[in-house]
Amino acid sequence: MSDFWRRFRRNRGAVVGLVILALVIAVAAFASLLFPGSPWDMATAPFVPPGEEGMLLGSDSLGRDVAAGIAHGARISLMVGAVSTAAALCIGVTLGAIAGYLGGVADDAVMRFTEFFQTIPSFVFAILLVAIFTPTIGSVVFAIAVVSWPPVARVVRAEFLSLRSREFVQAAEVLGKSRIAIVVTDILPNALSPIVVLSSLMVASAILLESALSFLGLGDPNLMTWGFLIGSGRSVIRLAWWMSVFPGLAIFLTVLALNLVGEGLSDALNPRLARQRGGAA
Amino acid sequence: MDPSRLPGFLLRRGVKAAIVILAIVVCNFLLIHAAPGDPASVIAGQSGAADERFLAQLRRQFGLDQPLHVQLWIYLKGVLTLDLGFSHRQQLPVWTLIRERLPATLLLTGAAFAFAVAAGVTLGTLAARRVGTWADSIITVIALTFYATPLFWVGLMLVLFFSVWLEWLPSFGMATVGVELHGIDAVLDVAKHLLLPALTLGLFYLAVYARLTRATMLEVADQDFVKTARAKGVPEGQVVRRHILRNALLPVITFAGIQAGQLIGGSILVETVFAWPGIGRLAFDALLARDYAVLLGVFFCTSVMVVGFNLVTDLLYAVVDPRVEVEG
In chain B, the residue whose alpha carbon lies closest to the alpha carbon of A256 is: B148
Q: Which amino acid would we find at residue B63?
A: G
- More confident position, B326 or B328: B326
Distances in Å between the alpha carbon of A176 and those of A162, A168, A170, A188? 21, 13, 10, 18
Alpha helices in A46-185 (DSSP H): 66-102, 104-119, 122-132, 137-148, 150-163, 167-174, 179-181
Distance, in angstroms, between A36 CA and closest chain B CA? Answer: 28
Percent of chain B with pLDDT strictly greater than 90: 2
Contacts of B22 (CB under 8 A, 6+ apart): B76
Q: For residues A101-126, give the mean pLDDT.
A: 89
Check CB contact of B158 with chain A, cutoff 8 Å: no
In chain A, the residue whose alpha carbon lies closest to the alpha carbon of B284 is: A216
Check CB contact of B208 with chain A, cutoff 8 Å: no
In chain B, the residue whose alpha carbon lies closest to the alpha carbon of A121 is: B261
Check CB contact of B30 with chain A, cutoff 8 Å: no
| Bridge partners for B92 per DSSP | B87
Check CB contact of A113 with chain B, cutoff 8 Å: no
Tell me the per-residue pLDDT of B50-99, one tens digit each, with 9 for 90 and over.
677 777 777 777 767 777 777 788 788 888 887 777 777 777 888 888 88
Check CB contact of B149 with chain A, cutoff 8 Å: yes
Tell me the per-residue pLDDT of B171-223, one tens digit each, with 9 for 90 and over.
777 776 666 777 777 777 777 888 889 988 988 888 888 888 888 888 777 78
Helix (H, G, I), strand (E, B) or coil at A65: strand
Question: Distance between CA B41 and CA B75 in Å, rounded?
Answer: 15
At A280, the pLDDT band (50, 70, 90 cuts) reads very low
Distance, in angstroms, between A133 CA and closest chain B CA? Answer: 6
Chain A residues in contact with B292 by the CB 8 A cut-off are 131-132
Q: What is the pLDDT of residue B325?
A: 52
- More confident position, A152 or B64: A152
For chains A and B, CB pairs below 8 A equal: 138
For A:203-222, CB contacts with B below 8 A are 204, 208, 211-212, 215-218
For B:213-232, CB contacts with A below 8 A are 218
Chain B residues in contact with A121 by the CB 8 A cut-off are 260-262, 264-265, 299, 302-303, 306
Query: What's the alpha-carbon Rg for chain B, to the nearest Å?
Result: 24
Helix (H, G, I), strand (E, B) or coil at A191: coil
Among the ranges given (A69-73, A125-129, A206-210, B91-95), the one the predictor scored with the smallest mean pLDDT:
B91-95
Check CB contact of B328 with chain A, cutoff 8 Å: no
Q: Which amino acid would we find at residue A263?
A: E
For B181, list phi and psi in degrees, rounded to 5: -115, 150
Considering only CB atoms, A128 lies closest to which of B144, B150, B295, namely B295
The answer to whether the Cβ–Cβ distance between A230 and B287 falls below 8 Å is no
Q: What is the pLDDT of residue A81?
A: 93
Check CB contact of B144 with chain A, cutoff 8 Å: yes
Helix (H, G, I), strand (E, B) or coil at A56: coil
The answer to whether the Cβ–Cβ distance between B31 and A134 falls below 8 Å is no
Distance, in angstroms, between B53 CA and closest chain A CA? Answer: 23
The answer to whether the Cβ–Cβ distance between B306 and A119 falls below 8 Å is yes
Considering only CB atoms, B24 lies closest to which of A120, A215, A237, namely A120
For A:142-201, CB contacts with B below 8 A are none
Check CB contact of B141 with chain A, cutoff 8 Å: no
Tell me the per-residue pLDDT of A242-279, one tens digit each, with 9 for 90 and over.
888 889 999 999 999 998 898 888 888 876 554 444 43
Chain A residues in contact with B26 by the CB 8 A cut-off are none
- Go through chain B and tell me how many residues it has: 328
3-state secondary structure chain B: CCHHHHHHHHHHHHHHHHHHHHHHHHHHHHHHHHCCCCHHHHHHCCCCCCCHHHHHHHHHHCCCCCCHHHHHHHHHHHHHCCCCCEECCCCEEHHHHHHHHHHHHHHHHHHHHHHHHHHHHHHHHHHHHCCCCHHHHHHHHHHHHHHHCCHHHHHHHHHHHHHHHCCCCCCCCCCCCCCCCCHHHHHHHHHHHHHHHHHHHHHHHHHHHHHHHHHHHHHHHCCHHHHHHHHHCCCHHHHHHHHHHHHHHHHHHHHHHHHHHHHHHHHHHHHHHHCCCCHHHHHHHHHHCCCHHHHHHHHHHHHHHHHHHHHHHHHHHHHHCCCCCCCC
pTM: 0.85
If you average pLDDT over every residue of chain B, what do you get?
80
The answer to whether the Cβ–Cβ distance between A132 and B299 falls below 8 Å is no
Q: For residues A41-69, give the mean pLDDT.
A: 74
Chain A residues in contact with B152 by the CB 8 A cut-off are 212, 215, 230
The answer to whether the Cβ–Cβ distance between A248 and B149 falls below 8 Å is yes
Chain A residues in contact with B145 by the CB 8 A cut-off are 252, 256
Distance, in angstroms, between A98 CA and closest chain B CA? Answer: 22
